[in-house]
Chains A and B, each alone.
Chain A
């Protein structure tokens, strides 16, 4: 299975900040990578797929980049609603796998 490692595991930031989360894959996943946001007690929400395609309805302050084995999720102008846990997921090869998550909390 392809392993995904997210960094950092925890990130503290303030409203209005710009933050970047990295996801590294143990083998290439080309651009078959998605990002999800999850809040406590809620289901994950799809933010980005195919590495950089923004899901419909997701604010443009979210952006994704990268290809191969290194990917980023960038959030600009952080809003109070953005404090959550973020997961990357590869869907290049079975089993599809998730990163361990990055918790974004308020500084």
Chain B
């Protein structure tokens, strides 16, 4: 069974950093690109970025809203994808989801982890 479990969320102050993890199981992690999406409270979905597989040098793409502040990385040996978030702002408050990409869309998603940025 494919499973994705996010962790690392919590309450942080503006300007601080946080690293989210997405632990996966049930599939060959290294064969799939992985994506991060967030959802602010009561709002819609926002695509943040993704990381390709090692076959494509694990290159990344980011939304303009987070480029330069957020970094996606992966550890294929552990089946984990990470989202490093620096310089957090109040508008980064959201539930953060990871998803597995198949045919360029998210076919499996985690349950999400809540990040709250507040002083």
Residues of A that sit less than 8 Å from B by CB: 1, 32, 34, 36, 38, 42-46, 49-50, 53, 55, 87, 89, 91, 94-101
* Chain B residues with CB below 8 A from A99, complex form: 44
Interface extent on B, as a size class?
20 to 34
Given A44-B109, A94-B61, A95-B64, also A49-B47 (CB < 8 A): no
Contact partner of B46 among A34, A49, A98, CB < 8 A?
Answer: A98
Q: Among the listed B37, B44, B109, B112, which residue makes an inter-chain contact with A45, where contact means beta carbons less than 8 Å apart?
A: B109
- A residues within 8 A CB of B107? 46, 55
- Which applies to chain B's interface (DSSP): helix, strand, loop or mixed? strand
B111 in the interface (beta carbon within 8 A)? yes
Chain B residues whose C-beta falls within 8 Å of the C-beta of A46 in the assembled complex: 105-107
A98: chain B residues within 8 A (beta carbon): 44-47
Residues in B whose Cβ lies below 8 Å from that of A101:
44-45
Interface string of B54-66 (1 = CB under 8 A from A): 0000000111100
Assess whether B47 is in contact with A96, with CB atoms less than 8 Å apart.
Answer: yes
